[in-house]
A and B are shown apart, each in its own frame.
Chain A
Amino acid sequence: MKILVSVKRVVDYNVRIQVKPDGSGVMLDGVKMSMNPFDEIALEEAIRLKEAGKATEIVAVALGPQAVQEQLRSALALGADRAIHMPLDTAPQPINVARALAGLARRENPDLILMGKQAIDDDCNQTPQMVAALLDWPQATFASRIELNDKSATVAREVDAGLEFLSVDLPAVISADLRLNVPRYPKLPDIMKARRLPIETATPEDLGVEFVPEARLLKVAPPPKRQAGRKVASVDELVAAVRERGLLS
């Protein structure tokens, strides 16, 4: 079984982002970048499936400028067998990422595509669903448990009402939620080894992928600041303060 995992390069989750004064975006110069945490979870799941003897090959893919190769090297250090870079000047929006990934899936024929449920930069939560639509494959989003059978998978999904269980035929697209697993750290020797491993390239043109018009960014602004209120000294004062606002009878 072959698993395709996509990894996005995003601002590290520990970084407190700042909006550029001209409103053209957020500051990225000199900011630490990392693999999108939900993608790390997806990759970890693929590695575990391989360790359990259920998967034979893990292919990591990333789109964007040369710098995304850093995240592909991380994926190789963690246990991906191959890495494919789709070189693009900028990272496209989900609809076009999905088109590119679907194009790659048509060439690579994986049995499973594992992806993070959302990227922590644009918070879109669209790409896995879109890839599944374009391939006409089943989707199981927000997965917190995956049981792989021969030709199908049973997936527990985290939905607002609790846990939803689906059975999907393979090939399928599954998006990872937080509680699917806890990713491991790469070992230093594996990081060194991954530096020397080849990274393949595939362009959207190679794959016959056409991009569609995207939304245009007009501006980025900081959110309105919520004013800190006041501190009270006791429970009685707390209850009185809440009552003052007409919130308790």
Chain B
Amino acid sequence: MSKVLVIAEHDGEILNPSTSRTVACALALGPEAVDVAVFAEAETKPVQAAARLNGVTRVLLVEHAANRSPVAAVLAPQVYALARDYTHVLAPATTFGKDVLPRAAALLGVPQVSDVMRVIDRNVFERPIYAGNALETIETPPGIVVATVRTASFKAVPETGSAPVEKISLDFDCPTHTRFLRVEGSSAGGRPDLQSARVVVSGGRGLGAKENFDLIYALADRLGAAVGASRAAVDAGFVPNDLQVGQTGKIIAPELYLAFGISGAIQHLAGIKDAGTIVAVNKDPDAPIFEVADIGLVGDLFEVLPTLLEALPKGGS
């Protein structure tokens, strides 16, 4: 039977929704136990949030001063120390999990499975390659399975559980060669998180200028939505890079995705494959985004966006 260790992603205040989705992937393994490791300086809110996730057996609180703003070099040896009691170690395929988990896998001397989309068996997984233009099914060799989870492919678990919390102190060599300096904040501006938002409004090169993105922000605020962007819009400097949706940006799975002035490069489509409904507005009727859009409107976004704002009731959906 499988015993799964899930590495929690949090910022000391909030348990990142990616953790819940990773627990969902863990449960797909049909495990006898799912433990969530929370690395923190001291007991924090994310510990209780992790305990509420349905299906979690135990929450392991690993306290260490270096876990205040931990870097991968500090976390990996701790994951390594815990991992030996488990058959599987999972982390979300966010920038957090992508940074930490391969480092832990290398310490364990096992390959890592990146971006699990589907669990077929306890050691057989489906994952995307070539920006999602093909899916490979792979079988891991004997030993601990280390994998990151494509969070867009799993639904968050309900939060009605009450798992016990155990404090763990680990004996590990804590490196000092890497120092966290600071994070320069997200550009969300109080809007929902791009990766967990129910509705995302995205703009592309078609917006033409940074100021024109105000139309996207206005619609997002009307809908209570997160704002995204294509790589072209980011490269053109219209918006900061943390809004980028795509193979090299964020992979998202909102219920509703509204794309304005986005042509639909493979790179971008890789990031929205799991969206529930895709709505596209583009003046080019041959734009590739129309090949995947559920609802398409050929038109000038500078006419469509203001009209759309008029048509929608104020005060959100």
Contact = CB atoms under 8 A, between A and B. Distances in A.
Nearest to A163: B184
Given A154-B181, A239-B312, A136 B175 contact: yes
Interface string B91-130: 0001110111111111101111111000000001000111
A161 B193 CA distance: 9
Interface centre among B11, B96, B143, B295 (most CB of A within 10 A): B295
B194 to A, nearest CB: 8
Given A141-B99, A216-B138, A248-B312, A162 B113 contact: no
Interface centre among B102, B109, B115, B279 (most CB of A within 10 A): B102
A95 B311 contact: no
Nearest to B293: A229
A125 B100 CA distance: 11
B207 to A, nearest CB: 18
B297 A238 contact: yes
A221 interface: yes
B95 A232 contact: no
Contacts of B297: 231-235, 237-238
A159 B96 contact: yes
Interface string B241-269: 11000011010000110000000001000
A34 interface: no
A178 B113 contact: no
B178 A139 contact: yes
A21 to B, nearest CB: 13
A142 B95 contact: yes
Nearest to A218: B137
B184 A221 contact: no
Given A141-B72, A228-B290, A158 B95 contact: yes
Contacts, number: 259
Given A124-B114, A247-B255, A215 B138 contact: yes
B42 interface: no
B11 to A, nearest CB: 7
B292 A228 contact: yes
Is chain B's binding surface mostly helix, strand, loop or mixed?
Answer: mixed
B134 A95 contact: no
Interface in A195-209: none
Contact of A215 (B140, B178, B255): B140
B317 A249 contact: yes
B114 A158 contact: no
In which size bucket is the chain A interface?
35 or more
B160 interface: no
Given A138-B73, A241-B295, A159 B183 contact: yes
B273 A226 contact: yes
Contacts of B11: 161
Nearest to B256: A247
Contacts of A241: 295
B136 interface: yes
Contacts of A165: 180-184
A125 B98 contact: yes
B177 A138 contact: yes
A207 to B, nearest CB: 16
A94 B112 contact: yes
Contacts of B277: 242, 245, 247
Interface string B196-211: 0001000000000000
A161 B308 CA distance: 30
B130 A120 contact: yes
B7 interface: no
A133 B184 contact: no
A144 interface: yes
B131 interface: yes
B212 to A, nearest CB: 18
Interface in A157-201: 157-169, 172, 177-179
B34 to A, nearest CB: 23
Contact of A139 (B103, B124, B138, B240): B103
A83 interface: no
A138 B178 contact: yes
A34 to B, nearest CB: 14
A74 interface: no
Contacts of A133: 76, 102-104, 106-107
B134 A166 contact: no
Contacts of A138: 73, 175, 177-178
B141 A213 contact: yes
- 8 cross-chain pairs, A with B, having the tightest CB-CB distances, nearest first: A229-B294, A213-B141, A130-B106, A129-B102, A133-B106, A126-B102, A165-B181, A138-B178
24 contacts: A11-B130, A17-B134, A94-B112, A95-B109, A121-B129, A122-B114, A126-B102, A129-B98, A133-B76, A133-B106, A140-B178, A162-B240, A163-B242, A164-B183, A164-B184, A178-B235, A179-B235, A217-B136, A219-B136, A219-B137, A221-B137, A226-B278, A226-B292, A229-B296
